[in-house]
Amino acid sequence: MLTMTGGERAPIFIAGKPLTDIWAAPGLKWQATVRAAISEPLIHPRLRFIRNDRAQFDLDNLAFPVLAASECSACDSVWATVEAGELEGVWVSEERPPPAPAASASVYIARPSVASISGRAAVPELVGKSVVAEGCPLGLALMFDAAETQVGEMSYDGPTKSLVDDLGPLLGFRMYRGRQVSADNRIKDLRISRGHHPGTSGVTVSVWPLSG
């Protein structure tokens, strides 16, 4: 069992296929497995997912069940990655995410969306931006200004999913159930933090290509 108080600790491995649907029976079982392995809410969760299939999924959706099981709504940062491997599961530890590489494509969004509302207006700061390294896996860092941003809330009511859904001009687009959506399935390294400029409500978005 993992017991943490906010400092960096050695990771534990929770075996089983990481799933995204926490309401279906397999997802509920996966969430129960995670909850049994973590005894305290995480402050700086570091999640390293391993899967051995070629299914397309969004990394924020993959992180959602683990963060929900660990009661991480008050966490200060999230660092999640996903990679291919034979033994499926997730390594869980406490570690602050490193800064985005200096060569990242970055943009500051003064008023990011806070919920995934359909039909919302395009983000003006993203107009005219170019897709980053089209076809390659990507890293994404989200540095929120406000100290109270719920970076561990990965549901449709949280700040991360709505923001990522708006990043099509940087991530590219794909078709999903007959509609065009952000190609956020390209993200394999997700780093989220808060409190960079308390008193304001913007976010600095950085995107960079990953090797391999």
Task: Please choose, from the candidates 190, 183, 136, the residue with its C-alpha nearest in 3D space to the C-alpha of residue 160.
Answer: 190
d(CA 77, CA 97): 7
What average pLDDT does the structure give for the chain?
A: 87
Question: Considering the entire predicted model, what is its pTM?
Answer: 0.91
CATH number of 12-94: 3.30.1330.70
For 105-209, the fitting CATH number among 1.20.120, 3.90.550, 3.30.1330, 3.40.630 is 3.30.1330
Per-residue pLDDT tens digits for 171-193:
998 877 777 788 999 999 999 99
Task: Please choose, from the candidates 156, 124, 148, the residue with its C-alpha nearest in 3D space to the C-alpha of residue 58.
Answer: 156
Token readout for 16 is: 């089983």
d(CA 201, CA 76): 16
Q: In what order do the strands lie in the sheet with 12-15?
A: 12-15, 89-94, 45-51, 77-84, 187-193, 138-144, 203-209, 105-109
d(CA 44, CA 74): 10
Instruction: Tell me where in the chain the CATH 3.30.1330.70 domain(s) lie.
Output: 12-94
Task: Please choose, from the candidates 75, 94, 50, the residue with its C-alpha nearest in 3D space to the C-alpha of residue 194.
Answer: 75
Residue in the structure block whose two tokens are 């809330």: 153
Per-residue pLDDT tens digits for 124-150:
999 999 999 998 999 999 999 999 999
What percentage of the chain reaches a pLDDT higher than 90? Answer: 58
d(CA 24, CA 61): 14
Per-residue pLDDT tens digits for 60-73:
989 988 888 887 76
